[in-house]
Amino acid sequence: MIPIGYYLILSGILFTLGIIAFFIKKDLITMFMSIEIMLNSANLAFIAFSRNLLSINGQIVVFFIITLAAAEACLGLAIILLIFRQRKTIRSEEINLMKG
């Protein structure tokens, strides 16, 4: 049997990859994909704890997180399409309307 620490290490590695991608990527779509990687790593930690504690509550939380990710992707990509239609760019450095 694989102990739970290894799942947490895998989850931490995936979360680190997501954070690095969020910082170094320039287009908004890839930044959103890195958010999906981070959500998946959190899901993995929840499922591992659910298996370890013999409780099913972690799986319920993962169900809600997946629903939340669906709503987030739907709205976020609609906003990205709107930004692209108005500004003709999705590079995060060129979207500086709030900069004054």
Partner 1 sequence: MSLYSGFIYFFGILSIFLGIMVITRKNAIHSAVYLIFCILSIAGLFFLLQAEFIAGIQIIVYAGGIMVIYVFTILLIKLEVVKGLKRRWEIKLITAIVFSALSGEILYLLLRKREALLPEEYGIAKGTVQAVGSYLLRDYLIPFEVVSLLLLVAMIGAIMLSRKKV
| Beta carbon of residue 19, minimum distance to partner 1 (angstroms, whole number) | 5
**Phi, psi values for residue 14, rounded to 5°:** -65, -40
| Beta carbon of residue 86, minimum distance to partner 1 (angstroms, whole number) | 9
- Give CA–CA dist 25/29, Å, rounded: 9
- Give CA–CA dist 21/87, Å, rounded: 24
Contact set with partner 1 (CB under 8 A): 1-10, 12-21, 23-27, 29-30, 32-34, 36-37, 40, 43-44, 47-48, 50-52, 54-57, 59-60, 62-64, 66-75, 77-82, 84, 90-91
In the bound state with partner 1, the residue whose beta carbon lies nearer, of 3 and 100, is: 3
| Beta carbon of residue 100, minimum distance to partner 1 (angstroms, whole number) | 19
37 near 14, Cβ under 8 Å?
Answer: yes
In the bound state with partner 1, the residue whose beta carbon lies nearer, of 42 and 98, is: 42
| Beta carbon of residue 37, minimum distance to partner 1 (angstroms, whole number) | 6
Buried b (16+ CB within 10 A) or exposed e, 5-30: eebbeebeebbeebeebbeeeeebee
